[in-house]
Structure 1
Amino acid sequence: MELNNVKETGVLIIGAGPAGLTLAVDLARRGVAARIVERGERLFPGSRGKGLQPRTQEVLDDLGVMDAVRAAGGPYPPMMGWEDGRRLGAFEMIVRTGPTPGTPYHDIWMLPQWRTAEILYARLLELGGEVEFGAACTALTRDADGVTAHLAYADGSAETVRAAYAVAADGGRSTVRKALGIGMAGESVDPLPRLVADIELTGLERDHWHVWQQAKGGGLSLCPLAGTGLFQMLAQYDDADAVPDPAPEAVRRLIAERSHLAASDVGEVRWTSTFRVRAAMAERFREGRVFLVGDAAHIHSPAGGQGLNTSVQDAYNLGWKLGAVLRGGADPVLLDSYEEERMPVAAGVLGISTRIHRAGMEGNAKEPRRTAEVHQLGLTYRGTALAVDQRRVDESALRAGDRAPDAPCALPDGTPFRLFDAFRGPQVTVLALGGAEPSAPGGASVRTYRVGGPAPDLLDPDGHIRDGYAERGVFVIRPDGHVGYAAHGTDQMAGYLTRLGS
């Protein structure tokens, strides 16, 4: 299709939240031509999603931003209950775990959403990308060869963009999803309204997350936002017909009414938002050459910290596949696997969020409800088209489709190394264990490591690779850190790699 005065790109990303920025970073490091446009004049300013689960931390490690994430955030503090100005005692909302050889990131890490976006944006700039702010997608049409989008800019100018593919990352009220006619099926999880705000606050220490569960009018929580001088306020209203007032003076008044703090203890109110908790999922995650990621595809209760994390992993799943098609020569049928893999995951995660939320409404609020199930380390693509396992092994064994675990090991000269060091980057990784000899094609798109055998690339002195994988065999690790192919030999591996564009 030929259009005059139209700018062309490989991928048009609509929305610069965590999902859109993750995708833009992943495509930029793959050398894929992409544009990311954002209706707002700046990045989202609020804390909203403030917890990065262990699996998301692994993704951010691969994207090269984990050092910045660790420096900017911190662990979740214990909860402190209050009533009538008295401390009721500390309790834990999460079940804390320790690291293992396969899971170096083991607990949720607090980082306000605005800071996560800033870090991803800085990484995008490092890679030569940019975000076009004040750019709204006003119309989008599709055909067999690509997508045509019309952009309207805040200065009154307009532009037409032609892209091979477009990705809607424009949030729960996605205009792109609506324009495509994709329905959003869901339910109200909790009819009570809520008000969330980022505030400056004095009069409370920052080593606890403070909660007033029995406050008149509804519960109140004040959480110190790690790495900042701010608190996140969350207020629930007992009256379903209440209309929360987001004005700064109203926020100060509410805190004074529901806690022992004075209105004067509240300084600047940086950001506010009102919402009601619902769970919903798009009827499909793809319409031709347009894909949905993040809140455009699924909306979660904030309970359990799943929404932002699932959004980041949507983008991480899609990014390497778009790169393989646009740069690696993979058959576009590879893109069918995005919806096949991510829709069941999103449905399962929505179920976890909803169950945790309702347990909080009905049960003992001091009971730890955030167990390892929220870490998203156990999410799997078993049984899908890209999960090829030619072995007969127990269901408890690592199988194709599963997340590929980390393992401390060593280079042949004894230098400490980790499997995540091997996986880091946009390539496919082949692990050959116990003397198995891979016949993988060379080139930058595939990196091969022999573990054991006469000429090893990696040593496994403590058996951590063997424990996480197998004594012998071949594993193809996809660019998103999932096992794609597992076998005792390499008979069909070359064909599998071709499917991945490698």
Structure 2
Amino acid sequence: MTVVIAGAGPTGLTLAIELARRGVPCRVLDKAATLFPGSRGKGLQPRTLEVFDDLGVIGAVLAAGEPFPSMRLYRGADVVWDKAIYELLGLPELEPTPAVPYPFTWLIPQWRTDQILAARFAELGGTIEFDTEVTGFEQGDTGVTVHTDRGPIHADYLVGADGGRSTVRKASGVEFVGGALTEERIVVGDVRATGLEGRRCHLLTRDGDQSKRFSLWNLPGSEHYQLVVTMAAGDDPPALTLHGMQNMLDERSGRRDVVLSDLRWISLYRVNLLMAQRFRMGRVFLAGDAAHVHSPAGGQGVNTGVQDAYNLGWKLAAVLAGAPDQLLDSYAAERMPVAADVLRLSGLLHRQGFGSTGPSPAAIHQLDISYRGGPLAGGDDVSGALQVGDRAPDGLLPDGRRLFDVFRGPHWTVLECDAVTVDFKVPSVCVSPRAGYDVPAGSYVLVRPDGHIGAISTKPEVIAHQLRHAGSAPDQCGCPA
């Protein structure tokens, strides 16, 4: 019983942790020699922070990052304005509440996120097999033979989390549909810089024209900045060297006092909006950039991949433990609409730029992602703002615990909202409907392992049925009939 994961980025490592903490053996393969060295996906959204809380890494993530800094526009050496990113996106700045403990977007370089996830995987007994490239696969009714440059591996399932140029996706023959969002190209890299004051995103221009800016973001826990330069269609890209970046900085800013050094990673890419037409092909799955790529605007990329893995992990483990195979079909059914929405959102944000009225904060923060009407939505038609498929909010219990403390772990949870206590053989807790759960008194709320609501009902037998048929292995559920 083995799952092979191609790719040791945030998506692959989140999935590996999800499987390892459920006792499912997995092999994480990556063609690189080490973890990714760059800062690329540097913004973690509130919903991703909640996932990391559940995975046991939130302390390390918070310690290694900081809130998104303000953004400062320069005209030469003069400051034109200094604004919070929320203001620029037309969003209100949220405050922590019992229901939303992490309302902020968290700045942390991707290389540090990868290190934290890899360390957690290692704590659970896992290892990453570097310098191991997946070259193809063959699958049958009972398993998958994964071909690598080190020899074949026989597994129950294969998950391609191997990026936008995914070998797993290409070998599967699944079409990647979409195209370039614009003809622009973007240079991203990590570099040291002198001559700038304060921790912020520095937007350096010669004359205040934001379309010709050279951006330098302070990175927490590092002496490096992330540089971001957008090249208009028809512009020749600079040499991807320290000298080439310094020349472009000098040209765009009109300054000579900001000096770059120690360029340790750099990349040039075109913004694409692409999505795989299938996320499941038998025993093979796609997740993260292997399944969808889009603009970095709005900071959705890493976050969407992490949530792909969070959705898929518990389902793979449940099926391997005896749940019906059809449970795995719900992965694509739930995540493909989310990916399509993210593509639309990031495209909108990319086109509108700063200063326009933005989408809802929940859309950016991914707190409003819901699987309403999906294949796992169960229970009665109970009225209320909170519906089956929605994210289960956090909340404070009388004993001082948070609901997230109860949810944390690989299990299902039942909330008894002024209802009669029933032994569902899963963790349960009494919650007043007035404590953030807008459901009728006498209701039971079933919370899935990924923190979404699996059922709401006043009938305990409905909750028991959902536990049996939506992923709780038969020998683990002693619920009432």
TM range (shorter): over 0.9
Secondary structure in structure 2 of the residue aligned to 1:43 = coil
Q: Does 1:190 find its partner at 2:182?
A: yes
* Alignment correspondent of 1:255: 249
Letter in 2 for 1:131: I
Q: Does 1:448 find its partner at 2:428?
A: yes
Bigger mean CA deviation after superposition, 137-146 or 292-301: 137-146
Structure 1 runs (4+) deviating above 4 angstroms are 213-217, 466-470
- Say which of 395, 404, 409 aligns to 1:407: 395
In 2, the alpha carbon distance for the partners of 1:217 and 1:385 equals 45
* Alignment correspondent of 1:23: 15
Q: Does 1:292 find its partner at 2:280?
A: no
In 2, the alpha carbon distance for the partners of 1:217 and 1:297 equals 30
Aligned CA distance change for structure 1 residues 501 and 216 (closer, same or farther; 3 Å): closer
Q: Does 1:150 find its partner at 2:147?
A: yes
**Contact (CA 8 Å) 2:181, 2:347: kept in 1 or not?**
yes
1:228-247 mapped onto 2 (5 Å cutoff) = 228-247=222-241
Aligned CA distance change for structure 1 residues 322 and 24 (closer, same or farther; 3 Å): same
In 2, the alpha carbon distance for the partners of 1:321 and 1:300 equals 26
1:408-487 mapped onto 2 (5 Å cutoff) = 408-411=396-399, 416-440=400-424, 442=425, 446-451=426-431, 465=435, 467-487=437-457
In 1, the alpha carbon distance for the partners of 2:435 and 2:2 equals 38
Q: Does 1:384 find its partner at 2:381?
A: no
Shift of 1:280: 0.7
1:3-42 mapped onto 2 (5 Å cutoff) = 9-42=1-34
For residues 455-497 of structure 1, the C-alpha deviation after alignment (integer angstroms, 9 at most, x for no partner) is xxxxx6xx75254554330011000000001101212222211
* Alignment correspondent of 1:457: none
Q: Does 1:210 find its partner at 2:180?
A: no
* Alignment correspondent of 1:160: 152
**Contact (CA 8 Å) 1:217, 1:239: kept in 2 or not?**
no
In 1, the alpha carbon distance for the partners of 2:436 and 2:241 equals 58
In 1, the alpha carbon distance for the partners of 2:5 and 2:448 equals 23
Q: What TM-score does the superposition give when structure 1 sets the normalisation length?
A: 0.89
Letter in 2 for 1:404: A
- Say which of 311, 317, 321 aligns to 1:323: 317
**Contact (CA 8 Å) 1:223, 1:233: kept in 2 or not?**
yes
Shift of 1:215: 5.6
Letter in 2 for 1:336: D
**Contact (CA 8 Å) 1:408, 1:417: kept in 2 or not?**
yes
**Contact (CA 8 Å) 1:92, 1:366: kept in 2 or not?**
no
Shift of 1:97: 0.9
Shift of 1:238: 2.7
* Alignment correspondent of 2:307: 313
- Say which of 334, 341, 344 aligns to 1:341: 334
In 2, the alpha carbon distance for the partners of 1:369 and 1:450 equals 38
1:56-95 mapped onto 2 (5 Å cutoff) = 56-94=48-86, 95=91
Aligned CA distance change for structure 1 residues 216 and 321 (closer, same or farther; 3 Å): closer
Q: Could you list the runs of 5+ residues in structure 2 that have no partner in the other structure?
A: 474-481
Secondary structure in structure 2 of the residue aligned to 1:309 = helix
**Contact (CA 8 Å) 1:194, 1:235: kept in 2 or not?**
yes
* Alignment correspondent of 1:46: 38
Secondary structure in structure 1 of the residue aligned to 2:460 = coil
Shift of 1:435: 2.8
In 2, the alpha carbon distance for the partners of 1:479 and 1:392 equals 21
* Alignment correspondent of 2:386: 398
Secondary structure in structure 1 of the residue aligned to 2:332 = helix
Aligned CA distance change for structure 1 residues 46 and 431 (closer, same or farther; 3 Å): same
Shift of 1:264: 6.9
**Contact (CA 8 Å) 1:189, 1:354: kept in 2 or not?**
yes
Secondary structure in structure 2 of the residue aligned to 1:45 = coil
In 1, the alpha carbon distance for the partners of 2:111 and 2:436 equals 40
**Contact (CA 8 Å) 1:93, 1:369: kept in 2 or not?**
no
**Contact (CA 8 Å) 1:337, 1:385: kept in 2 or not?**
yes
For residues 333-375 of structure 1, the C-alpha deviation after alignment (integer angstroms, 9 at most, x for no partner) is 1101000000001001111100000001xxxx34464751200
In 2, the alpha carbon distance for the partners of 1:472 and 1:494 equals 16
Secondary structure in structure 2 of the residue aligned to 1:393 = coil
Aligned CA distance change for structure 1 residues 374 and 324 (closer, same or farther; 3 Å): same
Aligned CA distance change for structure 1 residues 335 and 217 (closer, same or farther; 3 Å): closer
For residues 398-456 of structure 1, the C-alpha deviation after alignment (integer angstroms, 9 at most, x for no partner) is 01100000001123xxxx1110000000001111110333341x2xxx212234xxxxx
Shift of 1:212: 3.1
- Say which of 248, 259, 270 aligns to 1:265: 259
In 2, the alpha carbon distance for the partners of 1:257 and 1:239 equals 18
Bigger mean CA deviation after superposition, 383-392 or 330-339: 383-392
Aligned CA distance change for structure 1 residues 391 and 488 (closer, same or farther; 3 Å): farther
**Contact (CA 8 Å) 1:407, 1:468: kept in 2 or not?**
no
* Alignment correspondent of 1:112: 109
Letter in 2 for 1:472: G
Shift of 1:84: 2.4
In 1, the alpha carbon distance for the partners of 2:290 and 2:337 equals 16
CA RMSD of aligned residues (A): 1.8
Shift of 1:296: 0.2
Shift of 1:16: 0.5
In 1, the alpha carbon distance for the partners of 2:134 and 2:201 equals 40
In 2, the alpha carbon distance for the partners of 1:78 and 1:201 equals 18
Secondary structure in structure 1 of the residue aligned to 2:137 = strand
**Contact (CA 8 Å) 1:409, 1:418: kept in 2 or not?**
yes
For residues 223-280 of structure 1, the C-alpha deviation after alignment (integer angstroms, 9 at most, x for no partner) is 1112322111101123435233211211122112222543872121111000111111
In 1, the alpha carbon distance for the partners of 2:344 and 2:422 equals 41
**Contact (CA 8 Å) 2:57, 2:120: kept in 1 or not?**
yes
